[in-house]
Amino acid sequence: MALRAGWIGLGAMGAPMAMHLLRAGHPLAVWARRKEVMKPHVDAGARRCASPAEVAANADVVFTMVTATADSEAVALGEESIVEGARPGTVVVDMATVSPVATREIAARLKARDLEHLDAPVSGGPAGAAAATLAIMVGGRPEVFARVKPLLARLGRHVLHMGGHGAGQVTKLCNQVAQVVNVQGIAEAMLFAAVNGVDPAKVREALMGGFAASKMLELLGERMVDRTFDAGIPARLHHKDFGLVVELAHELGIAMPATALTAQQLAALMGHGWGTYDTSSLLRVLEAQSGVKPGG
């Protein structure tokens, strides 16, 4: 029989991911803070639940896709949470990007109640969630990963077990560092081109043909050229993730100067009130800091 799935958090990422499981034949129980977002799933056959505890009572595997570390802690361990409704052996899969340290603490507290935990953050954005082409980075016990992998394979194209609890979160934060530091470099290149009187669109085209080519140059570089900053992933999420990286790097005593600079630029972006816009808005931050008219 198909494993029963539960889903908590039906935002831009969670909603299509939950629907993939439902359409694959898994009985699905759902809960979200905003009741109206559950309607499409309920209309498609999902069970509407009044709390995370009720979701857990009706699922073998409970997926959570919330925003921040505190949210993951609340739905797993707080009042009317998963831990209050789950039976022994239930697996909790946290697909949000949250603190690796907190992830290990959540996993330990769930284990004390005979519950399993996987951290499984994703990369690919809303488009990848809709197309089920996400990269999924998983931390936790190998045997639990093996049990849940068929469900994860319904959500992503690349599903990798990275190690013990927290390893998925560490991998996702590595992804964010490599990705957004690159975006900062692209923003600086686009500004440099414009101020020197060279067409940024042509510069981007030239760079895409050489070693500077990257997915970020392809996608976010295009948004910078077209100034379509309202598309893509909200920059506030990258700001949140970089906060996690900087905090952990400080605790570990390791030097990450490019990450620190990019974190400062993301903070400046938030200060301008652009957190709901795409992270390509780092170009606008540079323009403001340089006193350059938008667009060069």
Q: With beta carbons less than 8 A apart as the criterion, state whether 45 and 18 touch.
A: no
Active centre residues (catalytic):
172
Give the count of alpha carbons within 13 A of 99, CB side only: 18
- Side chain identity at residue 197, one-letter code: G
Helix axes 167-195, 200-207, angle to 10 degrees: 130
How far apart CA 59 and CA 63 sit, in angstroms, is 10
Which CA distances in Å does 224 have to 125, 184, 199, 227, 282? Answer: 18, 11, 12, 5, 9
Q: Is the dihedral of CA 117, 118, 119, 125 positive or negative?
A: negative
Q: With beta carbons less than 8 A apart as the criterion, state whether 30 and 41 touch.
A: yes
Closest CA to 41 of 31, 51, 56, 54: 31
Closest CA to 198 of 225, 218, 228: 225
> Please, what's the b/e burial string for 245-273 (b: 16 or more CB within 10 A of its CB; e: otherwise)?
bbebbeeeeeebeebeebbebbebbeeee
How far apart CA 31 and CA 50 sit, in angstroms, is 7
